[in-house]
Structure 1
Amino acid sequence: MSTKTALIVGASRSLGLALATEFTRRGWDVIGTVRGESRTDLHELAEKSGGSVTVESLDTTRPEQISALRDRLAGRTLDLLFVNAAITRGNIPVGDVPEEMFVEVMVTNALSPMRVVESFRSLVTPTGTIGVMSSRQGSIGLNTRGGQDVYRASKSALNQLMRSYAVRYADAAHTLLLMCPGHVRTELGGPDAPLSIDQSIPGVVDTIEHHSGEPGLRFLNYQDQEVPW
């Protein structure tokens, strides 16, 4: 059986790095992207991987870099495309959010991941998987506490855009996943979050692998449970 290949966009640290590490541990070849040219923990993982991990540079907010990476990978076949990209700019009521901040979060968290998906979808095998990192904060039904207005809105927008994508390519057999990793202790999740990265990411990968070959769009968490839209 040939080795499976994953492209993980946003793999320099935190959840993305953990995804790259976990897939490598399970025998996958991993192409991971980082922003800029600085050395990251992903470079160290690549050096220790015996060739199974390669590092590419990509700023997803720059369309010309998306196109350039697509050209560089034109001869590759992907079993998994997974986009892990998100920023937050603090817990600010939406009426107080500067317009440039709103645009920055929306472009980074919603528009840019979809540009990546649209650009790389043709490299994914016909029964492969396309996933993006969402959040329970993108669930309208679960928003009973408010807060994090713009971050929530950006993840809801991402979910809606993936829904539209799924309808547009309804004849394709790709597995489409919106993944919620849970509330994890990261820079974004904060130090008081209940989950460690090691508690979250193996479950995310289990869920991705479990649904391989199942066409259609699902919004799931790291425990393979449906998340309300």
Structure 2
Amino acid sequence: MSHPATRTVLIVGASRGLGLALAQEYLVRGWHVIATVRGTAHTGLHALLAEHKGRLEIETVDINETEQVQALHTRLRQRSLDILFVNAGIAPNPGTPIGEVSTDEFVQVMINNALSPLRFIETFHDLVQVKGTIAVMSSGLGSVANNTNGGWETYRASKASLNTLLRSFVARHATDARTYLLIAPGWVRTDMGGPEATLGVDESIPRVVDVVEGQTGNGGLHYLNYQGETLAW
């Protein structure tokens, strides 16, 4: 169990890429980290257990399975979270124009990138402290106003939907003092971002954590990039 003075973050989707980097960054900063993986395979997250004994807990959940989400909530119902950070995103065949995307693929991306993160927040926001923070990994591609180049059409649509759904959730909880953040981490070299991306994980994620930290206690909903700049909806 964490020491009372240690802040706790729940990171959803932390087996690799940005989520794994988030877990590492919060551990380095002395946080107690609860991090989730989808399956039973040994991941980079498991490799951190020995080094951070007692400050890292690994939970298994597929956020697309509501029963698993409810079961995780039951397991963690006595916990108090300073931050809930939902990092979930897939981008199969990002170059495919919308007219050529199969219905199944479109549905899969929308469920994984928009519906499931919001369902998770609906279920878990009560575990976040009253002045705590709920952050979601969005994307600059989710901005409708800034979409002047096209491309990544299904992925863009899913992130715009994610942004809209969180905005609706916050509007529905108008008296909620928690801080809600949609974070665009930049174009990062991960399995999803690819080798041509402009940022290394070590250039993006520490700044992402700084931005989240800087918003602590501010309340309201903010759509920000990894440099703390406000993005156009």
In the superposition, the TM-score normalised over structure 2's length comes to 0.97
Measured on the aligned residues, the alpha-carbon RMSD in Å equals: 0.7
Mark the runs of 5 or more structure 2 residues left unpaired by the alignment: none
Alignment of 1:59-138 (within 5 A): 59-90=62-93, 91-138=95-142
> Which one of the candidate residues 182, 194, 217 is aligned to 2:186?
182
Residues 78-102 of structure 1 show CA distances to partners (whole Å, capped at 9, x for unaligned) of 0000000000111111011110000
2:198 & 2:103 partners in 1: Cα distance?
A: 32
Determine the C-alpha separation between the residues in 1 that align with 2:231 and 2:20: 24
* 2:146 alignment partner, SS class: coil
Secondary structure in structure 1 of the residue aligned to 2:45: helix
Mapped to 2, the partners of 1:182 and 1:199 lie a distance apart of 10
Residue 150 of structure 1 pairs with residue 158 of structure 2: no
User: Could you tell me which amino acid in structure 2 is paired with residue 98 of structure 1?
Assistant: S
Alignment partner of 1:16 out of 16, 19, 26: 19
SS in 1 for 2:50: helix
2:103 and 2:160 mapped to 1: Cα distance?
18
CA drift at 1:222 = 0.5
The whole-number CA distance in structure 1 between the counterparts of 2:7 and 2:228 is 21
Matched residue, 1:43: 46
State the distance in 1 between where 2:49 and 2:232 align: 37
**Residues 34-91 of structure 1 deviation map (CA, whole Å, 9 limit, x = unaligned):** 0111111111112210210110001011000000000000110000000000001111
CA distance in 2, matches of 1:170, 1:199: 34
- Cα distance in 1 between the residues matched to 2:92 and 2:41: 23
Question: Aligned partners of 2:124, 2:49: CA distance in 1, in Å?
Answer: 22
1:104-161 deviation per Cα after TM superposition (whole angstroms, max 9, x unaligned): 0000000000011010000000000001000000001111110111000000000000
Amino acid at match of 1:203: R
The separation in 2 between residues aligned to 1:11 and 1:81, in whole angstroms, is 12
In structure 1, C-alpha distance between the alignment counterparts of 2:112 and 2:49, rounded to whole Å: 26
Matched, 1:199 2:207: no
1:166 is paired with a residue whose SS is: helix
The residue aligned with 1:170 is 174
Q: After the TM superposition, list the runs of 4 or more consecutive aligned residues in structure 1 that deviate by more than 2 angstroms.
A: none
Deviation at residue 208 of structure 1 after TM alignment: 0.3
Q: CA deviation at 1:190?
A: 1.1
* Count of residues paired in the alignment: 229
CA distance in 2, matches of 1:192, 1:222: 19
Aligned partner of 1:208 in structure 2 is 212
Aligned residue in 1 for 2:33: 30
